[in-house]
Amino acid sequence: MVASILSIPDLRILSYGTTIAGGLLLWILEGLNPFFSREKRRALHAKLNLSIAALNLLILLPSGILMAFMLDWSRTAWPGIGILALPPVAEAIVILLLIDLLMYIWHRLNHETEFLWRFHSVHHSDATLDVTTSWRFHYMEILFSELLRLPLFMLFGAGIEHLLLYSLLMTPVIEFHHSNLSIPPALDRLARLIIPSPMMHRLHHSTLRTEHDSNYGSMLSVWDRLFGTFLMKDNLDDLRLGLDNESDTDKQQLFPLLLRPFRP
| Confidence check: pLDDT of 251 > 60 | yes
User: Most distant CA pair in the chain: distance in Å?
Assistant: 56
pLDDT digits (tens, 9 = 90+) for 253-262: 999 999 999 9
User: Distance between CA atoms of 14 and 47, rounded to whole angstroms?
Assistant: 24
77-91, 104-118, 164-178, 221-235: the lowest-pLDDT one = 77-91
Region 76-84: mean pLDDT is: 88
List C-alpha distances in Å: 237 to 93, 154, 175, 214. 38, 45, 22, 19
Structure pTM? 0.92
Residue 125 and residue 150 in contact, taking contact as beta carbons nearer than 8 Å: no
Q: Is 206 helix (H, G, I), strand (E, B) or coil?
A: strand
pLDDT digits (tens, 9 = 90+) for 88-138: 999 999 999 999 999 999 999 999 999 999 999 999 999 999 999 999 999
pLDDT band at 1 (very low <50, low <70, confident <90, very high): very low
pLDDT band at 7 (very low <50, low <70, confident <90, very high): low
DSSP 109-136: HHHH-HHHHHHHHHHHT-SS-SGGGGG-
Q: What angle do CA 143, 19, 39 make, to 5 degrees?
A: 95
